[in-house]
Amino acid sequence: MSISATYEGVTRRRVARAELTKFRSLRSSWVTLGLALLFLIGFGVIAAAQARTGNDAPGAEGATGYSMALFGVTFALIALGVLGVLTSSAEYTTGMIRSTLAAVPRRLPVLWAKAATYGVIAFVVGAVGALVAFLATSAILSGTSSAVSLSDAGVVRGLLGAGVYLGLAGVIGVALGVLLRSTAGGISALVGTFLLVPGLMALLPDSWSDAVTPYLPSNAGASLYALTQGDGALSAGAGLLVLLGWTALALVGAAYRLKRSDA
C-alpha cells in the first residue's frame, strides 16, 4: 500500500474535527471559557453597579455604559490567550503530539486546525460575552447619563470587534504554544506581549513611544472595539490589519518550528 493511500483519509475537515474533539474532552477548556465569560460580564456589571450607586469604580470616572461593559476585555484576554497556549503546548508536555503528527504526517494541517478551531471558539465567547455584558450594564444604567443604546453608532461594530480581538489573541496563544513548546514560556510571551510591553513603552522617548505604541498587538486590538479613537490611535480598520499581521507572524514562526523540528 502506498503512503498516499495510507493517509488519503486525512482531510482538513477530519483534522479540525479531531482538534475540536480534543478541546471539548478537557474539563479545563470549559472551566477557562467560563472564566473568560465571567470576567467579561462580571467586571462590566460591577463597574456599572458601582456607577449606579454613585461609587467610583476603577476607571469608571467619566465612562459610558459601553466602556464599562467592556471593562473586562483585558482579563478575558488573559484567560482566552492562556487557554490558547495550553491548547497546543499541552500536547508537547504530555507527548501526545507524537501521536497527532503520526496521524497527520504533513504537520501543518494540525496547526491550521488548532488555530482555526480555537480562534472561532474564542471569537464566539468574546462576542457573546461582550454583548451580554453590554445588555446587562445597559439595564443597570438605564435612565442615567451614562446609558448607551445598542442602536447607537459604532456599538454593534465595537462588540463584534471585541470578539475579533479576543479570537485573534487566542490564535496567537495557540501559535506561541507551538513555537515555544512550553506552557510557561508561551504564557510568559503572551502576557509580556499584550500587557508588559505596552507599559514599558513609557520608558522610551516620547517620539519613539508615540510612533511604536499604536502598532502593538494590545493597542491595535483595542482600536477594534473603541467607539472613539484617541490622538495617535489607529482606526478600527488599520488596527485589524496590524493585529492580523501580528497573528500571521506568530503562525509563520509556529509553522516553521513545526516543520523543521522534531516533536
- Classify residue 18 as exposed, middle or buried by CB count within 10 Å of its CB (0-12, 13-18, 19+): middle
Residue 172 in 3-state DSSP? helix
pTM of the model: 0.90
CB atoms within 10 A of CB 143: 7
Q: Specify the amino acid at residue 63.
A: A
Question: Please, what's the largest Cα pairwise distance for the chain?
Answer: 75
The C-alpha atoms of residue 116 and residue 240 are separated, in whole angstroms, by: 17
CB atoms within 10 A of CB 204: 13
Q: What is the pLDDT of residue 1?
A: 33
Q: What is the pLDDT of residue 168?
A: 97
Q: How many CA atoms lie within 13 A of 35 on its CB side?
A: 16
Each residue's pLDDT, cut to its tens digit, for the chain (263 residues) gives 333 333 456 688 888 888 888 888 888 899 999 999 999 999 999 988 888 776 555 545 557 889 899 999 999 999 999 999 999 998 888 888 888 888 887 889 999 999 999 999 999 999 999 999 999 999 998 878 778 888 888 899 999 999 999 999 999 999 999 999 999 999 999 999 999 999 899 888 988 888 999 999 999 999 999 988 777 889 999 999 999 999 999 999 999 999 888 76
Place of cell 500536547: 91
- Do residues 67 and 155 make contact, with C-beta atoms less than 8 angstroms apart? no
The C-alpha atoms of residue 176 and residue 88 are separated, in whole angstroms, by: 8
**Taking phi first (over 0 means left), then psi (-120 to 50 degrees means alpha), and beta for anything else, what does residue 45 get?**
alpha
Distances (CA, A) of 87 to 3, 31, 82, 214: 29, 13, 9, 29
CB atoms within 10 A of CB 257: 15
Q: What is the pLDDT of residue 192?
A: 95
